[in-house]
Amino acid sequence: MGVAFVLDGRSVTVEPPTPLTSLAQVLRETLLLTGTKLACGEGFCGSCTVHLDGEPVLACLTPIALVDGRAVATVEGLEPDGHWSALQQAMAERDAVQCGMCFPGMLMTLTAFLRDEAEAGRAVTADSVRAALTGNVCRCTGYQAIVEATLDAAFDAAASIPGPEART
Amino acid sequence: MTASPIGDSVRRRDAPDKLRGRTRFAIDRGEPGMLHVALRRAEVAAARLLRVDTAPALALEGVHAVVTEADAPGLYGVGVADHPLFARGVIRHHGEAIAAVAAETAEQARAAAAAIVVELEPLPAHLTMAEALAPGAREIHPDWRSYEELVAGGARAGNVAWEATAERGDVDAAFARSDVVIVEGTYATGRQNQASLEPRVALARYEDGRFTVETSTQYPWAVKAAIARQLGVSPAAVRITVPPVGGGFGQKFESSIEPVAAVLARQTGRPVRLALSREEEMRTALCRENAEIRIRSAVTADGEIAAREATVLLDCGAYGGEQTFLTSLVTHTLMGSYRLGAVRLRSRAVYTNTAPTGAFRACCGTYCTFALERHTDDICAAIGADRHAFRAGAVIGNGDVGPTGQVFEGDVLAPMLARMNELRERRPGPPADGRLYGTGVAVGTWFIFAGPSAATVRLNPDGGATLITAGVEIGSGSLVQALPQIVAERLGIAPGDVTVAAADTDAAGFDMGVGGGRTTVSLGAASRGAADEVRRKLLEHAADLLEAAPEDLLLADGEVRVAGAPASRRTIDEVVAHAHAVSGPLAGDGSFTGPGLRAAPGCAAGHMIEALDLPVFAVHECDVAVDPDTGHVEVLDYRVVQDVGRAINPRAIAEQIQGGVVQGLGYALHEEITFDEHGQVRQGGWESYRLPLASDALPVRIALHEGAPSVGPHGAKGAGEVPILNVAAAVGCAITDAIDRPMTRLPMTPVRVLATILGHEQPPALPHISTGGGR
Amino acid sequence: MTAEVLRATSAVEAVSLIGERGAVPLAGATWVMRAPLRGEPHADAYVALTGVDELGEIVRDGASITIGACVSHDALAAALCREPSLRGLWDAAATSATPAVRRMATVGGALGAAGFRSSDLLPALLALGAEVQLMPSPGERRGLPLEDYLRRHDERGQALVCAVRVPAAGRASAHRRLCMRRGGGDYPVAIISVAVSASGELRVGAGSVGVTPRRWHGLERALTDGAREPEAVRAAAEAAIDELEPRDGVQAPAWYRGHVAVDLAVAAIGEVS
């Protein structure tokens, strides 16, 4: 059974061990893309978060069979033109990273969050960032630098395009 | 001239790839031809192991080897060698490894592990320390007398794996004084799982008669020694390399799974990978141990603590492990922080039929500080003292004597408490929504596990340097921030021009591991020593070139200048080229170890740490709101004053404090481990094990206290371990203040807080431990 | 044994595959994918419903809203944000589990996951008097009150859950849940969802307190006469708590679930009264 999908902008076809093999396992073990992590395997840590047709989902709970014909984006595809996103830049400037295992999932969750909030014209607040991160576990940082970097990125984005006040 | 990089918040160099998903942790690595391992584990807590038949597993497709205890003859441990790699004749805990299978795929390995035939005869299990210590209780290690003692001095008997005692002054006389009030308390605290996102994982090869193991560890030299010991081979035949580590928090300070991968690599001749599942990590992690504490103090009306005595039981699980070592630290934390007239302490690591426990950030310090500070608040209530004023007057200061007779230098805690008073002024007020409001303050004493470290610095033709140590980057940043900053400062180059080699025990000298807050201190001092040797050689060559005396030279910004003669200068690479022409490449070695302070004669027995070479102090305070209907606790404001000696990288330290406090909030409030009737950990995954999430965290307000004495480089102290020390204490004191009933157990889940409010939960009775001359 | 995932493009095709192949419906997959962690075997065959457009629709017909089985919690919350009478269901959809799970897990999954004790949607749907729309055989449609559906879970056999229909207008509803972490992210240990019709009829749904989501009839009966002051509600809830059969579980003991269920009931009923 071949499963064909678009991965970070490129078409791929894989022969997964079983149709219920998780997308996370296929990414890591078949495609050797280890940016997507697999820490808890039951949807409670968010480290495997990827975008499926643009929406953040848990790759550990996504059977590969349901990915056929769809588009997957991973942390490895976050900078297709070779430039860091504002969010990556803000994380680096805040020195937010520690062990780093949670960051791929954090970035995928927060990238979509910032996009959705900007599209909806909603202000990004510390509380809304924290709520969006419910389900992304970080064991090192205590989250504060991650939250602040996300606010920085939202602020930078809002500053570059006229829009609602992004930082409260 | 550029400012020194010491005190500069240099950014992490490993962040870019960690933010691109390119960093390859051990869990992300593999090799062509690699075999996968599955463990067959016990499903009972205690049994005689009658028969293990591996033949059905070996007959299955894809299976290359099955190993059992016969393949790993050695016993290992920290204080006592009591732990076989695989169960040997007896099952001592649920989840204990009985055999391991290497197969072509993980699925084949799991199927083969399940096919192994195991015959057992169940034994009654001791799931609690009370059961293990009951009169006539079955001995979990009937052969305990024959075990090799790796460290001498611990008293051992039956189910007591190790006992450390401390005694100073006449305790009985002090308790008999007519002018003292006697305050007593009992406490019981739970386990905490390290829950690093990267599980324990190792990839082993056996080539040219040597083992090469790439593993996620904090302590490569310990893994090397453990493999040699368990497999009965020379340590020289073992090489450990370490990629970036995806979180350790203490669990990876001890070797556990690496020897399994190594023995299977030798057996199969193939690369072998063993990665634990999250469920295995939840059920068999070397958790922070559960503990039971009885403490009492004799205190005068004006707040003098005439005597303090306590008994502490640490549940080491089925094997002694780190807890034999941690019994020492109970003395320095539970009996620390305050000036005490007389001291008596008994600290016991107790065998139970549960998964072995291990090291977790600030280890026993977290619950000892919880018990001590709750007890301190009880003392304040008993003598009518203000909690802040009492502490300000009672904390140890310059010239005060610690529990084992060491004399402390410097007034540290008192000025830190004063600083906390300033932080308190900007706190938010109590909520006006019917919740109960309270404040808790906690002081704490911890230590830097100084120990031996080696470092080598090489100065390269490009004028940059390479730092070679067995240190590993576990996320704290020490290896990518503080260490290159320290080396760069000595060599007059930028921290970014210092390459930090990945740990490889074939290349780097001995190091006692990344843990115990020791990296910046011990590896930092060794690195500084190595850089000093390079600096000296560099300046000698420069003096030669510039025709000046070495002492007249300035080394900064990548060049050597003659003081007062700005035109006389050479770049470092020019000096290196000169050295290459006349004497060869420049390198230096550095080494460090702690001074090894001893206890006063007769004060301590069974202590692997008799006195604190490098104490470190912390003051935490928080305000909480407690929902009286649900027992839910909200931490409204959290404040930390931490003794850092000298801050090498202030922002990195603040990040350690923020992260450590939130980890401590998990320990204090919702991370809970319980056992079912079979002795299995009930929390099998992160659905039920409640780690703090972003919405449970809050921004911690932080003040760094600088200037306390330290043997560390530039006066630095380790800053990564201590942030978790006082959290359960501060929160426990605050909840107690809010609900006006004593919190005596950890974690303080909503269930437990509500039960305490309703009067359903009383302090633990602990009939099996007394403080006095009894058991 | 490798499971097979079949594809359906219509509800009729899905029901055929269920009947002929014994296939189990698969939508968000968040429950099915965790079967091994629960120690449960996978089925031999699943039928993926993601390609069945008719199951992904939310249809309003004046008096009611019909929510397709493949509608995710997230999509449901987005659709309900301007339906004041369905505030309780909105809360359930918008706060359950975690944001990522809400994007994946579906209404049909909540109905199909028989062993899941902590669903937020089910108590909310019970309180609203929802009806489950089933397709027992290709083309045949049948409505069954949710309460009956849950009671006869084991007998649902080969029927496909196509949708739930919820009376939409003239109600006030509220949803209260309690997790063991302040910010949530874990499954609640107690859930109380309530709805009051224009005529004052009160329905209460309870979840996670006992082993299955259920109506809290005893509390409803005690409050039929309209006296819904907090103290009256508390007394009635305390008197009727045994009906919920509070359970001991890893996250909380029975006494705690019962205790907080009373508080949640007081708060939820207070909100709609």
Q: Which of A10-14, B592-596, C120-124, C235-239 has the lowest mean pLDDT?
A: B592-596
> Does residue C185 belong to the interface with chain B, where contact is any CB pair within 8 Å?
yes
Beta strand B201-207 pairing with B272-275:
antiparallel
Round to whole Å and give the CA distance between C187 and B687: 8
Tens digit of each residue's pLDDT (9 = 90 or more) over A26-47: 999 999 999 999 999 999 999 9
Do the beta carbons of residue C171 and residue C197 sit within 8 Å?
yes
User: Which strand (E) or helix (H) includes residue B242?
Assistant: none
Does pLDDT of B773 surpass 60? no
User: What is the token pair recorded at B21?
Assistant: 């998903």
List chain A residues with CB under 8 Å of B658. Answer: 141-142, 144-145
- Quickly list H helices, B522-594: 524-546, 572-582
Q: pLDDT category, B771, cuts 50, 70, 90?
A: low
Any A CB within 8 A of C46 CB: yes
Q: What is the DSSP string of B607-632?
A: -SS-S-SSEEEEEEEEEEEE-TTT--
Residue in chain B closest to C1 (alpha carbons) equals B107
Which residue does chain A place closest to B720, by CA atoms?
Answer: A140
Query: What interface predicted TM-score (ipTM) does this complex get?
Result: 0.96
Q: Please judge whether A135 and C3 are an interchain contact, meaning their C-beta atoms are less than 8 angstroms apart.
A: no
* Long-range contacts, stretch A14-20, CB < 8 angstroms, 24+ apart: A14/A64, A16/A64, A16/A65, A17/B107, A17/C2, A18/C2, A18/C3, A19/A63, A19/A64, A19/A65, A19/C2, A19/C3, A19/C4, A19/C5, A19/C46, A20/A63, A20/A64, A20/A65, A20/C3, A20/C5, A20/C32, A20/C33, A20/C42, A20/C46
Summarize pLDDT for C118-137 with one digit per residue, the tens.
999 999 999 999 999 999 99
Q: Is B581 on the interface with A (CB under 8 A)?
A: no
Q: Which residues in chain C touch residue B684, judged by CB atoms under 8 angstroms apart?
A: 37
Closest CA relative to residue B497, chosen from B561, B576, B557: B557
Rounded to 5°, the CA angle B25-B31-B36 comes to 90
pLDDT of B683 over the 80 cut: yes
- Residue A23 has a pLDDT of 98
Spell out which residues of chain B touch residue C237, defining contact as CB-CB under 8 Å.
none
Residue B23: list chain A partners with CB under 8 A.
Answer: 100
Write the pLDDT tens digit of every residue in B408-434: 999 999 999 999 999 999 999 999 999
pLDDT, one tens digit per residue, over B122-156 is 999 999 999 999 999 999 999 999 999 999 999 99
pLDDT value at A162 more than 90: no
Closest to B56 (Cα-Cα) out of B112, B125, B132, B102: B112
Q: What is the 3-state secondary structure (H, E, C) of chain C?
A: CCCEEEECCCHHHHHHHHHHHCCEEECCCCCHHHHHHHCCCCCCEEEECCCCHHHHCEEECCCEEEEECCCEHHHHHHHHCCCHHHHHHHHHHHHCCCHHHHHHCEHHHHHHCCCCCCCCHHHHHHHCCCEEEEECCCCCCEEEEHHHHHHCHHHCCCCEEEEEEEECCCEEEEEEEECCCCCCCCCCCEEEEEEEECCCCEEEEEECCCCCCEECHHHHHHCCCCCCCHHHHHHHHHHHHHHHCCCCCCCCCHHHHHHHHHHHHHHHHHHHC
**pLDDT given for residue B770 in this prediction:** 80
Structure tokens at B427: 């706190």
Residue pLDDT, tens place only, C5-19 = 999 999 999 999 999
Which of C178, C185, C250 lies nearest to residue B630, judging by beta carbons? C178
Mutation target among B682, B690, B760 for the C interface, most CBs of C within 10 A: B690
C116 contacts chain A (CB < 8 A): no
Task: Specify whether the CB–CB gap between B393 and B595 falls below 8 A.
Answer: no
Q: What angle do CA B4, B5, B10 make, to 5 degrees?
A: 155
Chains linked to B by 3 or more Cβ pairs within 8 Å: A, C
Which candidate from C29, C46, C97 shows the least CB-CB separation from A62?
A: C29
- Chain C CB contacts of A46 under 8 Å are 98, 100
Q: How far apart are CA C12 and CA C129, in angstroms?
A: 26
Contacts of C98 in chain A (CB under 8 A): 43-44, 46, 134-135
**Among the partner residues C26, C34, C104, nearest to A57 by beta-carbon distance:** C104
Here the tokens at position B340 are 């005490």
Task: Mark yes or no for CB contact C103/A55 under 8 Å.
Answer: yes
Q: Confidence band (pLDDT; 50, 70, 90) for C1?
A: low
C272 touching chain A per CB within 8 A: no
Which among A93, A107, A143 has CB closest to B694? A143
> Does B690 sit within 8 Å of C181, measured CB to CB?
yes
Q: Does B681 touch chain C (CB under 8 A)?
A: no
pLDDT beyond 90 at A25:
yes
Q: Do A144 and B693 touch (CB under 8 A)?
A: no
CA of B656 vs chain A CAs: smallest distance (Å): 7
Under DSSP, is residue B470 helix (H, G, I), strand (E, B) or coil? coil
| C49 Cβ under 8 Å from any chain A Cβ | no
DSSP-derived 3-state class of residue B326: helix
Chain C: touching chains (3 or more CB pairs < 8 Å):
A, B
* Dihedral sign from CA coordinates of A5, A7, A10, A16: negative
Chain C residue numbers touching A57 (CB-CB < 8 A): 100, 103-104
> For an interface test with C, which of B632, B686, B698 has the most C Cβ atoms less than 10 Å from its Cβ?
B632
Helix, coil or strand: residue B39: strand
Q: Which of A140, A146, A150 to mutate to test the interface with B (most CBs of B within 10 A)?
A: A140
pLDDT band at A161 (very low <50, low <70, confident <90, very high): very low
C238/B contact by beta carbon, under 8 A: no
What would the pLDDT profile of B725-753 be if each residue is shown by its tens digit?
999 999 999 999 999 999 999 999 999 99
**Cβ contacts of B651 on chain A, cutoff 8 Å:** 95
- Does pLDDT of B774 surpass 80? no
- The reported pLDDT for the residue numbered B57 is 98
What integer is the mean pLDDT of C91-115? 94
Rg (CA), chain A: 16
pLDDT at residue C154, rounded to an integer? 65
Average pLDDT, chain A: 93
Closest CA to B166 of B432, B448, B428, B405: B405
Report d(CA B47, CA A129) in Å as an integer.
50
Query: Could you tell me the two tokens for B238?
Result: 């073992």
Distance CA B668, CA B747 (A): 5
B363 vs A: CB within 8 A: no
CA distance B36 to chain A (A): 13
Note whether B28 contacts A34, CB cutoff 8 Å.
Answer: yes
Own/partner pairs, A121-127, CB within 8 angstroms, 24+ separation? A121/A163, A121/A164, A122/A164, A123/A164, A123/A165, A123/A166, A123/A167, A123/A168, A124/A150, A124/A151, A124/A154, A124/A166, A124/A167, A125/A151, A125/A168, A126/A151
- Mean pLDDT for all residues in chain B: 96
Does A166 score more than 50 pLDDT? no
Contacts of B249 (CB under 8 A, 6+ apart): A139, B194, B195, B196, B360, B361, B663
Segment B109-114 shows an average pLDDT of 98
- Taking alpha carbons only, the member of C168, C18, C187 closest to residue C105 is C187
Contacts of B695 in chain C (CB under 8 A): 181-185
Residue A84 Cα, gap to closest chain C Cα (Å) = 24
Closest CA to A31 of A6, A58, A62, A56: A6
Are residues A99 and B695, on separate chains, in Cβ contact within 8 Å?
Answer: no
Contacts with A41 from chain B: Cβ below 8 Å: 277-278, 685
Sort out which chain C residues have CB atoms less than 8 A from A17's CB and list them: 2
Min distance A18 CA to chain C CA atoms (Å): 6
**pLDDT value of position A164:** 39
Question: Whole-prediction pTM value?
Answer: 0.97
pLDDT at C23: 94
Task: Annotate B682-731 with DSSP letters as a single string.
Answer: S--STTTS----GGG--PPEEEEEE----SSGGG----SSGGGTTHHHHH
State the Cα–Cα distance between residues C72 and B7, nearest whole angstrom. Answer: 51
Question: Testing the interface with A: which of C1, C2, C5 to mutate, by most A Cβ within 10 A?
Answer: C5
> Which phi and psi angles does B618 have, rounded to 5°?
-145, 145
Assess contact for B246 and B197: CB atoms under 8 A.
yes
Encode pLDDT of A74-118 as tens digits. 999 998 788 899 999 999 999 999 999 999 999 999 999 999 999
Q: Does the distance separating the beta carbons of C103 and A57 come in below 8 Å?
A: yes
Segment C166-220, tens digit of pLDDT? 998 778 999 999 999 988 999 999 999 999 998 899 999 999 999 999 999 999 9
Q: Do B196 and A75 touch (CB under 8 A)?
A: no
Separation of alpha carbons B505 and B594, rounded Å: 22
